[in-house]
Amino acid sequence: MNNFYIFLDIDGVLNHYNWFKKVFLHRLNKKGYSKYICPKNIENLNMLIHFLESKLFVPKIVISSTWRIIPNNYEMCKKLLLKYGLDYNEDFDKTCIKYNDWGKQILKFLKGKTATNNFVIIDDEMRDISPYFDKKNLIQASGMSKEGITEEQVLTFIKGYFLNFNDFNDIYRLF
């Protein structure tokens, strides 16, 4: 089975202002919800992971968010993702911090890996990523001001990456 790398940003992908507002207005944090991770966004990421597993890939999450820079945030990020429902049993990884350019960081990570076409970059800001990569490898989440990563964005990626995949009912059967 081949690895399939998921380069994951956090802010604007797995959280957004509408979620922050909902958590604070309805005191959801007192009911065990995290202000940092929106459950619907985790469901959408899980949909992608389950689909990749159904195609016999091994999903590998690579944190490419600024959360990876501060060690405590990186560790907290991994724990929050799992605590709030990420269905993922592999080790996490992170991109290097050598370059200011996210695209170069991802290229460096992929260098020397096998099956380097098997990846997706999920981020809400693509200006320093898109010049380096084919559109089929990108999911541009709707960002902080909207709703993060959506089900529609995941399905559009799947259909674009796996060109002959048209039966979305297969995806829903995974849940």
pLDDT tens for 63-96 read 998 878 877 888 888 888 998 899 999 999 999 8
Q: What per-residue confidence (pLDDT) applies to 167? A: 53
Range from 3-17, 95-109, 138-152 carrying the lowest mean pLDDT: 95-109
User: Both tokens of residue 117?
Assistant: 């076409």
pLDDT band at 16 (very low <50, low <70, confident <90, very high): confident
> Which domain covers residue 117, as residue numbers?
2-173
User: Both tokens of residue 86?
Assistant: 């990420």
Range from 16-25, 46-55, 122-131 carrying the lowest mean pLDDT: 16-25
* Total number of domains constituting the chain: 1
Segment 86-111 shows an average pLDDT of 89
State the Cα torsion 40-43-44-47 to the nearest 10°: -160
CATH, residue 156:
3.40.50
Q: Is 121 helix (H, G, I), strand (E, B) or coil?
A: strand
Tens digit of each residue's pLDDT (9 = 90 or more) over 147-161 = 999 999 999 999 989
